[in-house]
Amino acid sequence: QVQLQQWGAGLLKPSETLSLTCAVYGGSFSGYYWAWIRQPPGKGLEWIGESKHSGGTNYNPSLKSRVTISVDTSRNQFSLRLTSVTAADTAVYYCARGPWVVRGVIMTNLDYWGQGTQVTVSS
């Protein structure tokens, strides 16, 4: 059974850097992209981006200038950094298992999620 467990600072001041980490237990780590999604209070879901175990990344253009997603294959972990945060970045942040692509076909996507981390940006 695949499980994702995430952690990181929950209270930030404007202009600080958000940093979250997600550990993957069970299942294969390689071959998948690993993704971050966020949900502002009372609102819908926003995809932040994803990184493959080999290092390839895709980011939401709306956040691309401030986002870095990195993967540590030795620990089966992946991380999110979001710089220069503002109140608009206040949200619950989720890590999730991203796409598994086989010969151009997306076999699975966002099928396992972490528990979520509430991040609040306030002065």
Partner 1 sequence: EIVLTQSPGTLSLSPGERATLSCRASQSVTGNYLAWYQQKPGQAPRLLISGASSRATGIPDRFSGSGSGTDFTLTISRLEPEDCAVYFCHQYGTSPVTFGQGARLEIK
Nearer to partner 1, 65 or 74 (CB): 65
The reply on whether position 109 binds partner 1 by CB under 8 A is yes
Q: In the sheet where 77-82 sits, what is the strand order?
A: 3-8, 18-25, 77-82, 67-72
Nearer to partner 1, 15 or 108 (CB): 108
Binding-residue total with partner 1 (CB under 8 A): 21
Q: Which of 13, 41, 44, 123 binds partner 1 (CB under 8 A)?
A: 44
| Tokens standing for residue 58 | 């895709």
The reply on whether position 58 binds partner 1 by CB under 8 A is yes
Give the torsion sign (CA, 49, 111, 22, 43).
Answer: positive
CB hemisphere CA count around 108 (13 angstroms): 14
Residues found near partner 1 in the complex (CB under 8 A): 44-47, 58, 60-62, 94, 96, 99, 105-106, 108-111, 113-116
